[in-house]
Structure 1
Amino acid sequence: MHPPEVRARARHLYLAGATVAEAARAVGVSYPTVRHWCKVRPEPKQQGTALRCFRCRPDVDNPTDSGQYAYLLGLYLGDGHLVTTVRVPVLRIFCADAWPGLIDACEEAMKSVLAASVQRVHRQGCVAVQSYGRHWPCLLPQHGPGKKHERPIVLAEWQREIVAAQPGDFLRGLFHSDGCRFSNRVTVRGKEYVYPRYMFTNESTDIMGLCQWALDQLGIAWKMNRRNSLSVARRDAVAALDCHVGPKS
C-alpha cells in the first residue's frame, strides 16, 4: 500500500496539468495505479475525510496554520501517543491538571490541524486530550510501537520545512510537554541570586536533537547539564525563549 502523501502528490501533479504518465514517473508508481488515483472519483465519505487532512488534499501541501501544527507536533513528541491498532486511529496528549491553559491550547491545536472533534478524558492528576481521525497517522508519521526513546524519531522533509519556518511554536509544544520555566536560586559569597531558567528533559536523543536544532534556528544559547536534560539559562537566551514559550498557565 502506498503512503497517502504519495497518492496526494500524484493527484496534485495531475490536477496541476501533468499527464498521468508524468505524474506516475514523478512519484515512482505504476501507470495503472496513478491512473486509478487520478481518474476514479473517490467515494464522498473518503473525499470528505481527506479534505480535513492537509497532507491528503490534492490542492494543498501545507497546513493553513503551520504554527498550530508545529505546536501540536511538539506536544505529541513530548507527551503524545497515537493509537493506530483500533478501527479509527486516536491521538492522545496528556496534560497535567495544574495547567488548564495548556489543556485549552492543546484542544485548539488539534481542532485547527484536522478540524476534528476533541474530547477531554479526566484521569488521576491529568487530562487526556484526544481526537479520533483516520488521517492522524498521515500528519504524525513518527507513530510506531514501543516508547519513543526506544525507536528512531526522524521528521519527514515536509515536517522539517514547517518546523524550520515555525521553530518558536515547535519549541512551545516541546517545553509545554516535557519542559518547564522556573526560578533558579544560587548563592555566591553568601549572597543569594534568583534568575529564571528553562529546562527540557527527554529520554529520546532524537527528540533532544530536534529541540537543540529549533533553538539554534532562533539563535538561543543552550547547554546539556545531563545526557537527557537541556538548560537555557543565560539572561538573553531566556528572554528570547520567553517570546515564544513563556510560563505554563
Structure 2
Amino acid sequence: MTDIEFSYCKVCKNRGIKYPLGVICKISQDKPQFKQDCMHYEFDNEEYQTLKNNCRKYYSGLNEKGNSLGRRVNINTITYEQTHISDRSQSKLGSRLPLSMEFKRSATHYLFSHIIPSLFFIIGIPYYFKNKMNDDIIKILVIVSVIFFIGIMIWAAKQVIFNKPKIILDNKGIRIDGKDLIIWRDVLMTQIKTKHEQFTHEYLCISQISTTQNIEVNIQNLNVMGWQLGHYIETYKMKYQKL
C-alpha cells in the first residue's frame, strides 16, 4: 500500500484491522485495492483529530510544564512551534497563491560562509608574514591566496547559479531535496523547531498520517524565514488537503 492510499485508510470510517494483513477495508474484508481514490472513502474527523492531538501531546509531553495542546513548547534549548495562520491571512495569501513555490539556499549563506572568510585569508596571510619572509616568498603567498580566492568565487557562483530547491510546495504536496512527494492529505501537522544554542538553527518538522517517523529539514540558510514558510505550508494545506 502506498502512502497516498494508507493516508486515506488510516482516517477512514470503513477501516479495520485483521491479522496478519494489518489495515483492511471493512467493506471488502481485504487489503485496499484502489488506486488514488476510493469510492467507499468516508473521512473520520474524530480519528484525524485524535492522531493530531497525540502528535501534539508527544512534543508537549517532553516538557513537564508544557501545555499538552499548546502551539508552542519549550524544551531546554529547543522550541517547537506548530505552524498556523489566521483565517484573514489565509484568505489573503490563498487568493494570490502560485501553483508552486521553491525555496533554496540564500546567496547570503555562501557570502558569509565562504567568500568573506576567504577574503580575510588572502589579506591576512601575506600581512602576517610580511616581516618574517623575503619579498619573493610574500609574492608567492599573494599569488596562491588570489588563486585560492578566485577558485572559491567560482565555486560559490556555481552553487548560486545551479542552486537546486531544498523545499518545493505545490498543489500536490511537499517535496524535499527532490525526493519523494509528501502529499497534502498525508500531512498531519507541521512545526518549526528552533535550537537555541551557540548559534540558532531552525528545522521544519513534518508529521504524517501514514507513518510515526517524523521528517526534519534544516531550513536555517533558506531564502525564507521559518514563520513565513509555516504560513505558506498552512495555506497550501488548507487549499489542497481536501480531507
The interval holding the TM-score normalised by the smaller chain is under 0.3
Task: Name which structure has the greater RCO, CA cutoff 8 Å, separation 6+.
Answer: 2
> Which has the larger Rg?
2
Q: TM-score, normalised by structure 1?
A: 0.22
Normalising by structure 2, we get a TM-score of 0.22
Greater helix share, structure number:
1
